[in-house]
Amino acid sequence: MTVEQKSRENFQAFGLNDPLRGPFFDAKVWRPYGIDLPLRLTAELLTFASRRLQAQAEHVEALGRCNSPAEALKLQMAFLTRALSEYQSEVGTLSQDVADTAYPRPAAKAA
């Protein structure tokens, strides 16, 4: 049995009679996961990184204005608390993006 025949047999076993027209080549199947989701996640991560870097720059600037170690420690604690909260929120946003891709909401019907 040739490689081509074995491949055709495998596709038929999984109900994929034509390997070039099977679900792996259907844009409705792979586009959401192969293109749309990575682009959404990349855009969200870059936006998040931008916000975090801006917050870090502002924090370093504020540290430079501190007059005592106690004031610097207070700023550090506030910065870390806010950062942890934002990272936690970002995980929720990314998870929601993945869930929205995996389980898209049906389009609203026109009345």
pLDDT per position as a tens digit, 76-109: 999 999 999 999 999 999 999 999 888 877 776 7
**pLDDT value at residue 61:** 97
| Reported pTM | 0.68
Question: pLDDT, tens digit, for every residue of 9-55?
Answer: 665 655 555 555 555 566 666 778 888 899 999 999 999 999 999 99
**pLDDT value at residue 2:** 76
Whether 48 and 54 have beta carbons less than 8 Å apart is answered as no
Domain boundaries, the chain: 3-102
- Residues ≥6 apart with Cβ < 8 Å to 45: 94
Whether 94 and 25 have beta carbons less than 8 Å apart is answered as no
- Residues ≥6 apart with Cβ < 8 Å to 23: 16, 29
**pLDDT value at residue 102:** 82
